[in-house]
Every structure is written in C-alpha cells, then in structure tokens.
Structure 1
Amino acid sequence: MRRRLCRTILEFQERRSPSARGFEQMRLTSKSNCFLVAVCIAASILVLAARSPAMGHGSRHPIVKEEQKFIRTHTIQPNDPQTLGGPYEMADHTGRVVTDKTFRGSWVLYFFGYTSCREACPLGLEHITRALEAMGADADRIQPVFVDIGMEAPDRKGIAQFLSNFHPRLIGLAGTRAQTFEIVRLYKIRREYMATNYSKKEFGPRIDHTSYFFLADPEGNTRGYFHHALPPEQMAAFIRKHL
C-alpha cells in the first residue's frame, strides 16, 4: 500500500501542468529572494552601525589638537583648527548684539551646549572655571563664551541664570535658528536631538553634541581645541602655551 501511494504521488507530480510546476518554482524562488533581501538588509545595518560616528560624550577619539598634534582621550574629533570659525552674529544674554569682531584683541574660548544639559556642559564649564582661576592674571586676557545650540527661542534669562554658577566673566550667546545653524556650521559642531528621558528628570529634549572648547587668538583664528573633561590644570597649561 505504501509503495502504491508513493507511485501515485510521483505520477501526479509528473502529470502536473507546466504552469503548475512553474508556479511552484516561482514560489520557491520568491522565498529565496526574500531571504537574500533580509540578509542584505541585516548586513547593511551592521555596517552602518560600525561606521556611525559617535556623538558628544562617549567614544574613543583625540580630545586635544593644536595645529597637527593630537593627544588621545574621549569623544568625536573636530576638523583641523585652521578650518574652524568665521563671521557670525548673535546676541549675548543681556541682549547686546555680538559678532566675531566683538572680541578682537582678546583670546576667546568658545564652548557649545545648552542650558538644560546635565552632563558635559556643567562639567566642562566647571573645569574651565577652575582652570581660569588657576591662571591668575593671565585669565584676564581670555574671554570665555558659552554658545547655546538649542533649537528653542533664546531664553536670555535662563542662560544668565545657568552661567551664574560658573566663572563670572562667562558670556552666553544665543540667536535665531539661522544664526545658530551658521555658527554651528562654522565650528563643525555635531548635534543630535534625543528623546527626553523623564526617568532621569530631564526637562525638554536631550542634545548629544560635540563637547570641546575652541581657543581663538586675538585676530579671531582658531588655534586649537580641547575636550570638556580635560582636567583643569591641563586646560590651563594648554591655554598658557598659546598666550
């Protein structure tokens, strides 16, 4: 009986119309194609994840660069210093219009962040405050500047309150979206808006961003940069080297 059943099945397979057999082949081919597409998509995702540049606060890259010299530590590496900076116009936390020419004759330290930041910004501003205090009279030649890169309308009162926790000579800059985009472009700042993490008591969107201090000379040329987590004494040594 078993042999007869098998023979019947084989005869049925042979008698099937060519169209039926073709449909079966097409169905199998379609399944194979779907499998291959799924494999390709998975491979592409893995490649993109491996190549994706780290933002803001965590990967392993150089943190200090002056001219062509690197010192290794954390986070994403900006471009060569001489390619950074340029003309901009914003307003400080008192409402006064400020341009890149406002600070001519002084060394300037630019730092980009946002006032609701709970990690890189407070740490960086605290470190630079201690570095400037350690420099004594030399710190009078330096103007520290905090640039707000948030996308909301400028909150000058909020910026002033935020900066009151740090060095008294800190100036906060904010502008329209177009003005903010321009200065971010000039300094090649990378920023990525993340969902608010209410479990960490965050208020508003979190921004992962390039967290470096950029040192500009009295002519407005960018001379170097260093990471926000650099110890204050190393920040002071880096700045003194250029004065």
Structure 2
Amino acid sequence: MTPAGKRFALMAASVLAMASVVGYVGTRIALRYGPTLDTYGNEVGGSFRLMDATTGTMTDQTFRGRWMAVLFGATHCAEEACTPALTKMSTALDTVDPGKRNAVIIFVSLDPDRDDADRLRQYGSSISPRVVAGTAAPGPLADLAKEYHTTVEKVSDPEWTYAMRMSPRFVIMNPDTRYAGTVDATLSAEAMADALKKIMPPEK
C-alpha cells in the first residue's frame, strides 16, 4: 500500500471509530432523557419522547398530522407476538391508507438493555416501512406505558432468558395527537382493517 493509501485507510478507520463513539454517546444521552409526559387531556395516550432507530430522538410531535398506531413490546417479545401484530397492522393500514402517507406504527420497545438503535432499525425495517421503533430508560418507559394503559411485564423465556410481554392492543391517536380508539393486537389483518375503518375517516 502506498503512503497515501495508508493515510487514507487510517483516516477512514478514524472516521468510523468516531461515528461509533458518537452513536453510542447519542444512545446513552437519549436514554437518559425519557418521555416528557402530557396527556393533552386524553383518557388514553399522550406525549412521548423516545430514542429512535437512528440514535436521535422522536416525539409525538414528530408525527403530528399523521395517524399513529402505538404498540408496546420488544424485539425479544413473549410468545413472539409482536412481529405478527405489527405485520398485520401494517397490512390493515395499507387498506385504509393506501397512499402510505397518513399513518404510521409507533413500536415502543420495553427492553432498552437489548434494543439499541441498530437492533430497532433492523427490526422495524424487516417488518414494514410504516414501523418506527423507539425506546427510553426503564423508569420513563414505565410512566409512558401507564399513560397508554398498559404495563411493563418481563417473563422468562427458554431461548432468550427473558422476554417482554406485548401490550394487548394498539392505541390509535389521531393527527392532532388525540386518542381515537384501540384495536386488539391479536386480530387478523382483515379484522384490524375493519376496526380502523370505524376509527379513521377514509383517505381522500
């Protein structure tokens, strides 16, 4: 390798190392600052602040103007229930939002110790472009789960040591971040679509 090539390789390695450090630090900082809760007067749901899958932060205001289907779980999900639920909801939303511009799925991981930004990004993209995954520190996650009327439940798992229980339903928030209803997470994609049609107006 020529001296110039060696210098280029060294610079490239330094840039990659710095990017890794910045990503790690960003993740740690994002996890320290949990959701800033405000119910906005909703009986269920409200504001959130999460570390997203790019080591940045996302809030409910990031998605203002779009419908949100919010589900709690983890990539290590008890009974492996999360992936089917997210897949079916994505299919259902394709029925009521065929343009794929007006609705998004917010997947809140309750397992920040294992679900870092890279894992969340890979998990969400493996299911659907609609799935936006995020997490936060354990304490704020518990507060957020309570705001959305679900719980943080860890169960033993023979393969993963432990897994997190999925919330039983999707909470649907309208484009003004107001609570609009819920959809059972165990329904078929067709039944989810029927439920969404009763909650969301048809796309114009």
Q: Same fold (TM over 0.5)?
A: yes
The residue that corresponds to 1:193 in the other structure is 154
The residue that corresponds to 1:145 in the other structure is 106
Unmatched segments (≥5 aa) in structure 1: 1-81
Larger radius of gyration: 1
Mark the CA change 1:214 to 1:144 in structure 2 (over 3 Å): closer, same or farther: same
SS at match of 1:195: strand
Shift of residue 224 of structure 1? 0.7
1:238 pairs with one of 191, 195, 198: 195
SS at match of 2:160: coil
* Superposed counterparts of 1:96-175, under 5 Å: 96-117=56-77, 118-135=79-96, 137=98, 139-152=100-113, 154-175=115-136
Shift of residue 153 of structure 1? 5.7
Instruction: Indicate whether 1:217 and 2:174 are aligned.
Output: yes
Give the distance between the partners of 1:83 and 1:105, measured in 2 at CA.
20
Do the aligned residues in 1 keep the contact of 2:105 with 2:130 (CA within 8 Å)? yes
Mark the CA change 1:161 to 1:97 in structure 2 (over 3 Å): closer, same or farther: same
Moved more, 122-131 or 204-213: 204-213
Instruction: Indicate whether 1:89 and 2:49 are aligned.
Output: yes
Shift of residue 165 of structure 1? 2.0
Please give the TM-score of this superposition, normalised by the length of structure 1: 0.60
Unmatched segments (≥5 aa) in structure 2: 1-41
Post-superposition CA distance 1:2-57 (Å, at most 9, x none) = xxxxxxxxxxxxxxxxxxxxxxxxxxxxxxxxxxxxxxxxxxxxxxxxxxxxxxxx
SS at match of 2:161: coil
Instruction: Note the aligned Cα RMSD (angstroms).
Output: 2.1
The percent of aligned pairs where both chains have the same amino acid is: 25
Give the distance between the partners of 2:97 and 2:177, measured in 1 at CA.
23
Give the distance between the partners of 2:102 and 2:114, measured in 1 at CA.
31
Aligned length: 159
